[in-house]
Amino acid sequence: MDAVSVIRTKRDRGRLDDAQIDWVLAAYTRGEVADEQMSALAMAILLNGMDRAEIARWTAAMIASGERMDFSALPRPTADKHSTGGVGDKITLPLAPLVAACGAAVPQLSGRGLGHTGGTLDKLESIPGWRALLSNDEMLGVLRDAGAVICAAGDGLAPADKKLYALRDVTGTVESIPLIASSIMSKKIAEGTGSLVLDVKVGSGAFMKNLADARELASTMVGLGTDHGVRTVALLTDMSTPLGLTAGNALEVRESVEVLAGGGPSDVVELTLALAREMLDAAGLEHADPAKALADGSAMDVWRRMITAQGGDPDATLPTARETETVTAPASGVLTRLDAYAVGVAAWRLGAGRARKEDPVQAGAGVELHAKPGDTVTAGQPLLTLHTDTPEKFAYARQALEGAVDVAGEGTGFEPVPLILGRIG
């Protein structure tokens, strides 16, 4: 077996067999296949695709490159959730303790933000003392104590994916649906959860801009989960407008705590409950009532135990940015559009996100929303508040927001986009 023959097979629109897939991923992980060779193969996959059996074998080979976790000793069924990423998407924060409060164990391996999409770990690290890096034993201990854990994936989990993910980012091959699906699902399957709910975002602030591509990605991932014995379902959800009223790290933690306290923006509550019901159903706990667990404080109790178990102080004051600046409504009327991608880029430029994985983030930076599409606004009223420790970034953030807002005259028909656009599974 050699890398050139594998590349030629896919370059010429052929089908990779199991032996080719197993060999090339194992050899790449060992360093025997060069980055430039794997780059050529990734581009051939992007251009010519893979069938379901190829994607399943590719995923299996990435799982086999590392360890698999096992939660079978836990007294509860396990359920996990993965979002393909968006703007203001803080759903994991209230969702994990909510589902745990209803009887499931939630081993949530999360990531950091890159570009305009926020990262769950960055958000939680704005809580003083909170730790993202846990050993497998520590992770199991938090699960036993609190019922939920949110932490970083260890280096031993699908190391082939870790290498390939970094390569795709710099070779223009991120958009390949087979590579996206296998990247996400290899880590989730290796994680050892019994059931998985996928939140596949659609719209300007999402990776998938249109419903057809999102449906294809969701169907591919649901198929991969099913093929590997993990009960998997997917919701297609709107990301044309930011979720909730904040985009930024500490800002989103504060909003998540409001949801756990029984308040918070209606769209965040709606999606949190919808995903919780899917997770509980997939875990065989379909009779549990997540709305009750929000109302009676039991989800908040789990949140406090989970944060404390990972070294954080749930009562600590969250960081705030040193400087703020207001963006006002350009006209009076009905706000008909507030572009999620523009808000995400603005938050990133203010310091809430990073351009490279090594970059630091500001805990207090981000964008606060004072109106959402469908609201009536008056010219000159505050529409957004920009938060940062580095005020020289305000102008750069404002550039990102140019053309991001549409206001129509009173009486103009406004049709809101449903938050949940479809379900697969």
Q: What does the mean pLDDT of the chain come to? A: 95
Tokens (6 digits) for 59: 């995923």
Asked if residue 328 and residue 304 are part of one domain, the reply reads no
Other Cβ atoms less than 10 A from the Cβ of 394: the count is 18
> How many degrees, rounded to 5, is the angle at CA 217 between CA 79 and CA 186?
50
Asked if residue 114 and residue 252 are part of one domain, the reply reads yes
Asked if residue 384 and residue 291 are part of one domain, the reply reads no
Q: How far apart are the first and last CA of the chain?
A: 37
Taking the C-alpha atoms of residue 242 and residue 260, their distance in angstroms, rounded to an integer, is: 19
Tokens (6 digits) for 418: 């449903």
| Residue closest to 171 by CA, chosen among 15, 340, 34 | 34
Asked if residue 237 and residue 266 are part of one domain, the reply reads yes
The per-residue pLDDT for range 150-200, each reduced to its tens digit, is 999 888 889 999 899 888 878 889 889 999 999 999 999 999 999 999 999
The per-residue pLDDT for range 328-345, each reduced to its tens digit, is 999 999 999 999 999 999
Domain range for residue 45? Answer: 3-49
The pLDDT assigned to 154 comes to: 83
Asked if residue 394 and residue 271 are part of one domain, the reply reads no
Asked if residue 392 and residue 248 are part of one domain, the reply reads no
The per-residue pLDDT for range 282-292, each reduced to its tens digit, is 999 999 999 99
Lowest mean pLDDT among 21-25, 106-110, 154-158: 154-158
Asked if residue 254 and residue 194 are part of one domain, the reply reads yes
The residues assigned a catalytic role are 82, 161, 168, 183, 187
The pLDDT assigned to 165 comes to: 84
Asked if residue 208 and residue 336 are part of one domain, the reply reads no
The pLDDT assigned to 123 comes to: 97
Q: In this structure, which amino acid lies at residue 126? A: S
Asked if residue 279 and residue 203 are part of one domain, the reply reads yes
The pLDDT assigned to 328 comes to: 97
Report, in angstroms and rounded to the nearest whole number, the Rg of the chain calculated over CA atoms: 22
Burial class (CB in 10 A: 0-12, 13-18, 19+), 40: buried
Asked if residue 376 and residue 338 are part of one domain, the reply reads yes
Asked if residue 123 and residue 208 are part of one domain, the reply reads yes
The per-residue pLDDT for range 380-395, each reduced to its tens digit, is 999 999 999 999 999 9
Q: Using an 8 Å Cβ cutoff, are 251 and 366 in contact?
A: yes
Tokens (6 digits) for 205: 């602030």
Asked if the model's pLDDT at residue 9 lies above 90, the reply is yes
